[in-house]
Structure formats: structure tokens, C-alpha cells
Amino acid sequence: MSEKKTTNIILFSGDYDKAMAAFIIANGAAAYDHEVTIFATFWGLNAFRKDEPVPVKKGFLENMFGKMMPRGAEKMGLSQMNFAGIGPKLIKRVMKKHNALPLGDLISMAQEQDVKLVACTMTMDLLGLQKEELIDGIEYAGVAAYLADAEDGNVNLFI
């Protein structure tokens, strides 16, 4: 077959380090000419939030979730050694020192490489996130779309 290999990543986690891993793998796979999809669901959606507040109308609970969840990739915490927010600062300092790209840049790079970024509409609905609050250039779909991609995928990961 001359078909492209595919990599399909479910980004469930809202941790900065796990999202970094997801986008490093995605960018690597895209560089190796895979068709790559990142399907962000639950807390993973926070990586796709714009970093400034967007005025949208919401219910009380949805508004509260919106306020409590990190607004955008650079505000996410670490899965380990978070130390009340000091961990992410330290990690970013060593990343800068070693010329590693911050998460926001990894996401932009993924978009430039045509990695398909998909926001899970079911959890957007649950967490009260609206399209206006998410970054541009992403798609919106549900679990059926994920499965259609993944069932013929080469590398399927849940992060």
C-alpha cells in the first residue's frame, strides 16, 4: 500500500508535561510523514484554550469550571513535582536553557505541519467550553470521528 501511516493521540490530560509529550510525538510523527491527529478531550481541552478571557454567556456551573481550569497551554500544571505551580516555572526555565520549545510553540508547529487538532464536542459541552474560547484552526468532533481515524491507525496513544 502507498497509504500514509497514521498517528492518533487522545489528549485527555491537562498536565503541561503530558501535553508536551503528546505534541513532541505528534510533531515527530508529522516530520516522518504520518497523518497525525490530536483529539483533545476532558482536561486536554485546556491546551486549546485562548489565554485571554473571551466574553461568552454561560450557566453558573460552566462559568465556575471555566474559571477554575487553566486558560491555555502555558498555564497548565505538571503531572508530577508541580509544587503549587513552582514546578512548571522550573521546567520552563530548564527548557529555555536547553532551547526546548514551550508547549505553545509545539502546538503552533503542529498546526504548521498539518497535524489535525480536534476538540471533543461532548466534553466541550460538559465543561461549558465554547468555540470562541478555543484557538483557531481546530476541528470539532466526537468519539465516532476519533474511532474512524484510530481503527486503521498505526500509533494510537491515550495521554
The answer to whether 149 and 10 are in contact (CB under 8 A) is no
- 147 sits near a copy of itself (criterion: CB under 8 A): yes
- 146 sits near a copy of itself (criterion: CB under 8 A): yes
**Distance of closest approach, residue 118 Cβ to a copy of itself, in angstroms:** 14
What are the cell numbers at 69? 481550569
3 state DSSP class of 4: coil
Helices 103-112 and 16-31, packing angle to 10 deg: 30
- For a copy of itself, the binding residues in 74-133 under the rule CB under 8 A are 79-81, 90-91, 93-95, 97-98, 100, 122, 125-128
**Binding characters for a copy of itself, 41-80, by CB under 8 A (x = yes):** xxx---------------x-xx-xx--xx---------xx
Torsion, CA 140, CA 7, CA 80, CA 16, rounded to 10: -40
What are the cell numbers at 14? 491537562
The answer to whether 157 and 13 are in contact (CB under 8 A) is no
Give residues in contact with a copy of itself (CB under 8 A): 5, 7, 10, 12-15, 17-18, 21, 24-25, 28-29, 31-32, 34, 41-43, 59, 61-62, 64-65, 68-69, 79-81, 90-91, 93-95, 97-98, 100, 122, 125-128, 143-144, 146-148, 150-159
